[in-house]
Amino acid sequence: MLGEPVLKYLITRLVQLVAVVFVISVLAFLLVHLLPGDPSVTILGPFDTAAARAEVLRQLGLDKPLPLQYLTWLGNVLHGNLGESFLTKESVSHAIAQAFPIDLELVVLSQIIAFAVAIPLAMVAARRPNKAFDRLSSTFTFGLLSVPAFILAVLLVLVFAVSIHAFPATGWTNLTSNLGQNLRSAILPSIALGAGSVAVYFRLLRSDLISTLQEDYITMARAKGLPTRYILFRHALRPSSFSLLASAGINIGSLLTGAFVVEYLFQLPGIGYQIVESISSRDYLMVQGMALVVAVAFVVVNFAVDFLLVLLDPRIRRA
Amino acid sequence: MPDSQKRLGPLFWICLGFIGLVVFGAIFANVLPLPNPDAQNYAAVNAGPSLHHLLGTDDLGRDLLSRIVFGSRVSLVVGFGGIAIGLAIGGTLGLVAGYRSGALDTVLNAGSFVILAFPPLLAIIVIVAFWGRSLPKLTLIIGIASIPSMFRVIRATTMSYANRDFVVAARALGASNRRIIFRELLPNVAPAAISFALIGVAIIVVLEGSLAFLGLSVALPTPSWGNIIYEGASNNNLQTNPFIALWPALAMFLLLTSLNLVGDRLRSYFDVREGGL
Amino acid sequence: MRRADPLRFAPVEDMADPLLSVEDLRTHFRTPAGVLRAVDGVSFSLDRGKTLGIVGESGSGKTVLSRSVMGLLSQSSVDRSGRVLFAGHDLTAMGPRELRQVWGTQVSMIFQDPMTALNPVVRIGRQITESLRIRAGLDRAAARQTAVALLASVGIPSPERRLRSYPHELSGGMRQRVMIAIALSCGPKLVLADEPTTGLDVTIQAQILDLLSSEQRERSMAMVLVTHDLGVVAGRTDHIAVMYAGRIVESAPTAVVFRDTKMPYTEALIRSIPKLAAPSHTRLLAIEGRPPSLLDPPEGCAFAPRCPYADDRCHREAPPLREASPGHLYACWNPVGTPAAARAFEANRQAGLPAAVAYARSGVAP
């Protein structure tokens, strides 16, 4: 199926990906190591002797030169060993495995909501640009752009949790333990997280659809006597959705970190929540490992979307 | 293109006016007839709006209007200060790189690409948490974090002008690079830079709010918009007095809408292409 | 004065109603700069199985005319008046739902540029089969078979494989063949072909035109061939209508147009056709100047500013369509070959009018 140019492109991008991931691992490492604060203080408390501190640092390998520490850490990471918490002795990879599905579920749900709202809205609006419906939905989404996730979260809690008790204000039920409860606990955070995406997707898709609908091939499709709805879905939507998908890719990456605030607000034990908790307890390896995972996920998602775009647009496939 | 798109429209001026109002309040907060934002008054806890307290009080009896006005200082200093740093460094580099497009450009471009691959919020959270969260540090960290995106935006805009006739003509007349950059390119890039900067300020104001919810904005009890909303949303305040959160949330919404709208209108007014983003 | 009689060019043996009859069609666009009169009172008719060539420079309104006849122009900001009778039904009175019943199965269209008129992200196969399935009600297998047969009949090698191609994977000529296959797929009675060969090499142009002619004969369809090139329609049409500034300025059976040219604009178009027989150093005569703005057309004859035979009256007063012989109409005060034209030409040449000077220099005096 895939031609040689696509393979070449894929390989170039893969090399770039590896390079970026390498730099990111350095950044994640330095981020934690160059900052003030002494882990031995965290572990032993502020009143222990200098000798005891040195011993702790030696045990943790923190007395070695930075490049060596990095290489050791990287070697372990490549073997799937992200180290363990200074405090709880829980392995970092275990903590991530516990927390990451929550982020994943939030991001996926929020994007399902965003697409489900933005796509139909944009399709109806683009059919008659500058008419009442288009103006109304454009104004609405422009306003939505100015509602930060945390404000929307507060409003949602106020209305749906405090006033009418429809959904829990905080807390999380795992997907595997009870699906209904899980969705109930995920719905408000997902809406808070996805609302900004609705605005962005709507605006992109609307303007792309408007210009697509003026293309000759749409006139041609009309001249074939095809129904309007069919033309919208089968002829206009796909060529209009490339910038939508590109922005969704970038967006999904930043949602991973955007979820931090929402998780904290709704007390959901996802990666964001864990990172902030680990930061406040100076749990270095935990912060480092989670930062690495989030950053790599961010890059990989962007890469995957990039490649998906190539598959979707047969024109790029050849270029 | 219809002519109506080339007008800024009354809404633009209303929004610009609101931004001006907030800036005015932040500068003259000490002079304005406002109660001390930190003064607690247990006789008037969770009071509704009155002549003394135009927007009512919070759960400690502090005047909400005063807290919002004083709190705007943090949001505005971080927002405008951070963008100023980003523009000064990232914008200048972007101008030079976009004009000269040689080895320097390649290196800077690749660098910004790699740095932007790292999730910015994560970096900011970690640095703020370990290094400190005083107002100057917060501003500096956020400002530095905004350099790569400012660089890319200004570079792309500069490149769209760098090969136009007037630049080529200036070069043919023997103008120095410095003169071309500052006299020919800067005036053309500036409108775009201003509109991107305003939208950048909006992003940073939201960022400050997010940090407040993670407990990482300026230390309490100093009011910032993020802090006030956060306080209003914690300790059962949503049940007892939702207005503690709602008033500053409304103020923030209006400021963000204004910034976005002014930036957006300026961009279409000066016909800036969005390809650079 | 503007009202023109519907043009008839039906052969005597076919006295049935014309298949297509356009009566005083006007299509005006409301733009910020004013009303643009793209089509301004056009009438013609076309019998079953016949071919009409509509010829004019770009900007003469011929593309708008073909879309307006079909009813394809979107409603807002377009004012359309007049009647378009197709097999006795008034297309201008139809709503979108009824029009959709006509499009594709009764009347279909071949677009100018197959690169933009074929959806770049939809495979050729689906672009052909979708109307077969939705409009003709064929099932998947039957639609596929028909599509293969259609592609084969328009001369596309290994049609089964081509069904899976995207438009950009075909050459320009192949794309235009695909477009023709799509236009023919539901067996229309009338095809409107809008500059079907403009973007193609000369040799491929001839192939595509021959293909259109043979398909037309086999399926006994009527066709309107819209083009800027009088050479394209010369041997392939029954009747020619020359358009200028939104109106028909001369209309006659094809042979008559070339034998008994009346309108100076038609003459200029004929002179601009390259002739293979002519000595190689013969210079082609391009028409001086540009067509007038359709926003603000001149008061008199629209061609007068570029016409070597124009006199004062031409600039003042628009000529009506007059009949030269049965089926031959023209709109001109000083038709080609008349003493009036010769007098005006001499005066214009002495006055140094560019059009007249260019004619004199290349030795084509009236």
For C231-251, how does the pLDDT look when each residue is reduced to its tens digit (9 = 90+)? 888 888 999 999 999 999 999
Residue A9 confidence (pLDDT) above 80: no
- DSSP per residue over chain B, as a string? --GGGG--HHHHHHHHHHHHHHHHHHHTTTTSS---TT---GGGTT----SSSTT-B-TT--BHHHHHHHHHHHHHIIIIIHHHHHIIIIIHHHHHHHHH-SHHHHHHHHHHHHHHHS-HHHHHHHHHHHH---HHHHHHHHHHHTHHHHHHHHHHHHHHHHTSHHHHHHHHTT--HHHIIIIIIHHHHHHHHHHHHHHHHHHHHHHHHHHHHTT-SSPTTS--HHHHHHHHHSTTHHHH-THHHHHHHHHHHHHHHHHHHHHHHHHHHTT--GGG-
- Residue B139 near residue B205 (C-beta atoms within 8 A): no
Mean pLDDT for B2-9 is 58
A5–C contact, CB cutoff 8 A:
no
Distance CA A236, CA A226 (A): 13
**Interface residues on C facing A, Cβ-Cβ cutoff 8 A:** 67, 70, 72, 96, 99-105, 108-109, 111-113, 116-122, 126, 130-131, 134-135, 166, 168-169, 179, 182, 186
Segments making up each domain of chain A, as ranges: 4-78, 92-313
Span C196-224, mean pLDDT?
86
What is the least distance, in Å, from the CA of B18 to any CA of chain A? 15
pLDDT in tens, A239-298: 888 888 878 877 777 787 778 888 888 888 888 888 888 887 777 778 888 888 888 887
> Degrees (nearest 5) of the Cα angle C8, C13, C14?
55
pLDDT at B154 over 80: yes
Contact check, Cβ <8 Å, A234/C130: yes
Provide the pLDDT for residue C365.
56
CA distance C7 to C44: 5
Over range C88-105, report the average pLDDT: 88
DSSP helix/strand/coil, A84: strand
Closest CA–CA distance from residue A86 to any residue of chain B (Å): 17
Main-chain phi, psi angles of C298, to 5 degrees: -65, 160
Considering CB atoms only, which of A219, A223, A235 is closest to C122?
A235
Q: In whole angstroms, what is the distance from residue B205 CA to residue A236 CA?
A: 37
- pLDDT(A308) > 90: no
Kindly tell me if the per-residue pLDDT of C12 is higher than 50.
no
CA torsion angle A82 A87 A89 A95 (round to 10): -50
pLDDT of residue C263: 93
Average pLDDT over residues C266-291: 70
B40 CB contacts (<8 Å, ≥6 apart)? B60, B61, B62
Distance of residue A144 Cα from the nearest chain B Cα, in angstroms = 9
Test A239 with C121 for CB contact under 8 angstroms. yes
Task: Identify which has the larger pLDDT, C119 or A57.
Answer: C119
- Per-residue confidence (pLDDT) for residue C290, from 0 to 100: 79
State the smallest CA–CA distance between residue A151 and chain B in angstroms.
Answer: 6
Contacting residues of B for A150, CB less than 8 Å apart: 209-210, 213, 226, 229-230, 233
Q: Does A127 touch chain C (CB under 8 A)?
A: no
The C-alpha atoms of residue B136 and residue B144 are separated, in whole angstroms, by 12
**3-class secondary structure per residue, chain C:** CCCCCCCCCCCCCCCCCCCEEEEEEEEEEEECCEEEEEEEEEEEEECCCCEEEEECCCCCCHHHHHHHHHCCCCCCCEEEEEEEEECCEEHHHCCHHHHHHHECCCEEEECCCHHHHCCCCCCHHHHHHHHHHHCCCCCHHHHHHHHHHHHHHCCCCCHHHHCCCCHHHCCHHHHHHHHHHHHHCCCCCEEEEECCCCCCCHHHHHHHHHHHHHHHHHHCCEEEEEECCHHHHHCCCCEEEEEECCEEEEEEEHHHHHHCCCCHHHHHHHHCCCCCCCCCCCCCCCCCCCCCCCCCCCCCCCCHHHCCCCCHHHHHCCCCCEEEECCEEECCCCCCCCHHHHHHHHHHHHHCCHHHHHHHHCCCCC
Residue A39: predicted pLDDT: 66
Contact C121 A314 (CB under 8 A): yes
Q: Do B117 and A276 touch (CB under 8 A)?
A: no
Q: What is the mean pLDDT of residues C27-49?
A: 89
Question: How many CB pairs below 8 A link A and B?
Answer: 119
Best CA proximity match to C47, nearest among C80, C19, C79, C76: C19
3-state secondary structure of A62: coil
Section A45-69 average pLDDT: 75
Q: In degrees to the nearest 10, what's the CA dihedral of C306, C312, C317, C319?
A: -60
* Residue A20 touches partner B, C-beta closer than 8 Å: yes
φ, ψ of residue A38 to 5 degrees: the values are -120, 120
Asked if CATH classification 1.10.3720.10 holds for the domain at A92-313, the reply, yes or no, is yes
Average pLDDT over residues B187-194: 84
Find the length of chain C: 366
Across residues C132-136, what is the average pLDDT?
Answer: 89
Mean pLDDT for A200-213 is 90
At C275 the pLDDT is 64
Chain C: nearest CA to A314, how far in angstroms? 6
Q: Is A135 in the C-facing interface, judged by CB distances under 8 Å? A: no
For A225, the closest of C67, C103, C118 (CB atoms) is C103
Q: Which of A37, A145, A257 sits opposite B122 (nearest CB)?
A: A257
A304 touches chain C (CB under 8 A): no
What's the average model confidence in pLDDT over C197-201? Answer: 78
For position B272, what pLDDT does the model report?
52
pLDDT at residue A318, rounded to an integer: 47
Look at the block and give the residue holding tokens 């002079």: B31
Position A36 confidence tier, pLDDT thresholds 50, 70, 90: low
C103: nearest CB among A217, A224, A238: A224
Tokens of B120: 């910015």
A20 or A312, which is more confident: A20
Residue whose token pair is 């071309």: B180
β-bridge pairing C51-55 and C20-31: unpaired
Per-residue pLDDT, averaged over B184-207, amounts to: 86
d(CA B44, CA C60): 79
- Say which residue the tokens 């830079």 belong to: B193
**What pLDDT digit, counting tens, does each position of A148-170 carry?**
888 888 888 888 877 777 777 77
Write out chain A residues lying below 8 Å of C103, CB-based. Answer: 222-225
Q: Would the ipTM clear 0.90, i.e. be above it? A: no
**For position C11, what pLDDT does the model report?**
34
**pLDDT of C15 strictly over 70:** no
Check pLDDT > 80 for residue C270.
yes
Average pLDDT over residues B79-104: 88
The verdict on a CB contact (< 8 Å) between A225 and C104 is: yes
Identify which has the larger pLDDT, B117 or C267.
Answer: C267
CA–CA dist B219, B134 (Å, integer): 7
User: CA A7 → CA A11, A307, C122, distances in Å?
Assistant: 6, 11, 22
Average pLDDT of chain C, as a whole number: 85
Q: Do A279 and B249 touch (CB under 8 A)?
A: no
Please indicate whether, in this complex, the C-beta atoms of B261 and A142 are within 8 angstroms of each other. Answer: yes
Q: Which residue of B has its CA nearest to A140?
A: B257
Going by C-alpha positions, the residue among C95, C40, C45, C36 that lies closest to residue C65 is: C40
Number of alpha carbons in the 13 Å side-chain half-sphere of residue A62: 19
Interchain contact, A35 vs B126, CB within 8 Å: yes
For residue B37, is pLDDT > 80? no
> Does position A31 have pLDDT exceeding 80, yes or no?
no
Residues of B in contact with A37 (CB under 8 A): 130
CB contact under 8 A, B117 and A20: yes
* Mean pLDDT across B140-156: 88
C335 pLDDT tier (thresholds 50, 70, 90)? very high
Least confident of A3-7, A9-13, A130-134, B35-39: A3-7
The predicted pLDDT at position C8 comes to 31
Can you give the pLDDT at residue B212? Answer: 86
User: What distances in angstroms separate CA C143 from CA B39, C39, C166, one per listed residue?
Assistant: 80, 38, 18
Subunits close to C (at least 3 CB pairs below 8 A): A
Which of A216, A219, A224 has the CB atom closest to C104's CB atom? A224
Tell me what pLDDT residue C95 has: 86
Residue B124 · residue B145 · CB < 8 Å: yes
Average pLDDT, chain A: 82
Q: What is the mean pLDDT of residues C267-294?
A: 70
Q: Is residue B14's pLDDT more than 60?
A: yes
Asked if pLDDT for residue B276 goes beyond 60, the answer is no
Task: Tell me what pLDDT residue C279 has.
Answer: 53
Q: Choose, out of A103, A146, A264, A280, the residue to mutate when testing the contact with B (most B CBs < 10 Å).
A: A146
Query: Any idea which residue has 């023997």 for tokens?
Result: B174
Of A219, A222, A225, the CB nearest to C101: A225
Percent of chain A residues topping a pLDDT of 70: 91
Check pLDDT > 60 for residue C20: yes
Q: Residue C325 pLDDT more than 70?
A: yes
User: Mean pLDDT over residues B65-76, rounded?
Assistant: 87
Confidence of residue B178 (pLDDT cuts 50, 70, 90): confident
Question: Residue holding tokens 């918490």?
Answer: A85
Which subunits have 3 or more CB–CB pairs within 8 Å of chain A? B, C
Is the CB of C134 less than 8 angstroms away from the CB of A222? no
Q: Name, in order, each residue with C-beta under 8 angstroms of C304's C-beta and a sequence gap of 6 or more.
A: C298, C310, C314, C315
pLDDT at C33 over 90: no
Q: With 50 as the cut, is the pLDDT of residue C309 above it?
A: yes
The A residues from 120 to 159 touching B (CB cutoff 8 Å) are 142-143, 145-151, 154-155, 157-158
Residue-level pLDDT at B233: 79
Residue B208, Ramachandran bin (φ over 0: left; ψ between -120 and 50: alpha; else beta):
alpha
Instruction: Please give the Cα distance from A56 to B196 (Å, whole number).
Output: 49
Averaged pLDDT of chain B = 81
Q: Residue A278: what residue type?
A: S
- pLDDT the model gives residue C3: 34
- Of residues B45 and B190, the one with the higher pLDDT is B190
Say yes or no to pLDDT of B135 above 50. yes
Residue A185's pLDDT is: 82
Res. B277: pLDDT tops 70:
no
**A165 vs C2, more confident:** A165
Put simply, the answer to whether A275 touches B121 (Cβ < 8 Å) is: no
